[in-house]
Structure 1
Amino acid sequence: MYYQTRYTTCPDAGIARPGNTMMPPSIHCHLCAAMKLRVVLVVAVIAGMVLEVLAPSTTSSLQPPLGWRDLLFVFFGSAIGISLVLGFQAVLRNGKSLRWGWYFFTISTAFLLGAGLSGIAIALASKTLQPASFLCLALACGMAGPLAALKAFLPNRFQDAA
């Protein structure tokens, strides 16, 4: 067998996992990191939902009011912005900044997704559904596309990503 140890230690978690002799520590650490990111993403979605309920966004009182065309601009603007920011890091081969940027924008997308879904639910419940209710959701969807594409095109850079 490749690993004869009885315990493999994950330096990320700092704890020994009993009976894990078949899994090399490097794979185990990647699984721990992916699991941590999933937990952070779930917490971000829940935080977005809770904060939208506790402090509803002021987008409903915008003057002039937000229109449906404005949501398209927000959607494509966020997609282009994320592509430019992370694309420059990829072109410059700045791996650390690319990973940190990807993680930051992924967590931000999860937060905005939670806030957007909660905002739409609140607007439906109060029967005041308007384009401003979809602002956070448009931002989240616009950011999600380039993040998924970046992970698909550069899979080696994001081995431990969820």
Structure 2
Amino acid sequence: MKSTVKRYWKAIAAAAGLLGVLFGEVALKSAHDAKPPLTWEAIGFIAVFGVIGMIFVLGIQVISKNFKGAYWGWMFFALNAVYMTSTGVSAAAISLTRGEFGPASGLFIAFGGGTGIGLFFMKSSCLKNGR
């Protein structure tokens, strides 16, 4: 199964990205409806803790020598990062065209970007060579 996922990884990631673009407007509406309203400080907090969260979650798997769990966790979160980032880019583009750019427009970029940066750090530091 691992080789099947690797074989189709680019297609799966592209599908996640396409779905993210398609759901940008829905995501933007849900972010605008947040109570209390989002601030730019909250967006930065979300991005920073996205990085910390990925290092923590996958780091526990590596420390416990569960490399299979770390691998599948990385794959799942990588798809999530692609989806969230593409949703965020779509939501930001929609809000820019409407002249409504604000913190809600950057929420999903912060989610996906923070997750992606955390995954990059984990991949480059401890998930090398099949580990």
- For normalisation by structure 2, the TM-score amounts to 0.89
* Pairwise CA distance, 1:38: 1.2
Higher relative contact order (CA closer than 8 Å, sequence separation 6+)? 2
Q: Which residue of 2 aligns with 1:64?
A: 36
* Pairwise CA distance, 1:45: 0.6
Unpaired stretches in structure 2, ≥5 consecutive residues: none
Q: 1:98-113 alignment to 2 at 5 Å? A: 98-113=70-85
Distance 1:54 1:145 in 2: 25
Displaced runs of 4 or more, over 6 A: none
Structure 1 or 2, whichever has the larger Rg, is 1
Q: Which residue of 2 aligns with 1:24?
A: none
SS in 2 for 1:157: coil
* Pairwise CA distance, 1:148: 1.2
2:27–2:91 CA contact under 8 A, matched in 1: no
1:128 aligns with 2:104: no
Q: Could you list the per-position Cα deviations for residues 3-56 of structure 1 after superposition, in whole angstroms to 9, with x for gaps in the alignment?
A: xxxxxxxxx6xxxxxxxxxxxxxxxx96x7544111111110100111223564
Distance 1:118 1:60 in 2: 14
SS in 1 for 2:23: helix
Select the structure that is richer in strand: 1
- Name the aligned partner's letter for residue 68 of structure 1: W
Distance 1:44 1:124 in 2: 23
Q: Which residue of 1 aligns with 2:23?
A: 51
- For normalisation by structure 1, the TM-score amounts to 0.73
Distance 1:35 1:56 in 2: 33
Select the structure that is richer in helix: 2
Distance 1:55 1:110 in 2: 14
Q: Which residue of 1 aligns with 2:128?
A: 155
SS in 2 for 1:65: coil
Alpha-carbon RMSD across the aligned residues, in angstroms, is 1.9
The 1:54/1:77 distance shift into structure 2, 3 A limit, reads closer
- Name the aligned partner's letter for residue 47 of structure 1: L
SS in 2 for 1:129: coil
Q: Could you list the per-position Cα deviations for residues 57-110 of structure 1 after superposition, in whole angstroms to 9, with x for gaps in the alignment?
A: 311122332111111110111111111100000011101111110000000000
Unpaired stretches in structure 1, ≥5 consecutive residues: 1-11, 13-28
- Higher mean C-alpha displacement, 52-61 vs 65-74: 52-61
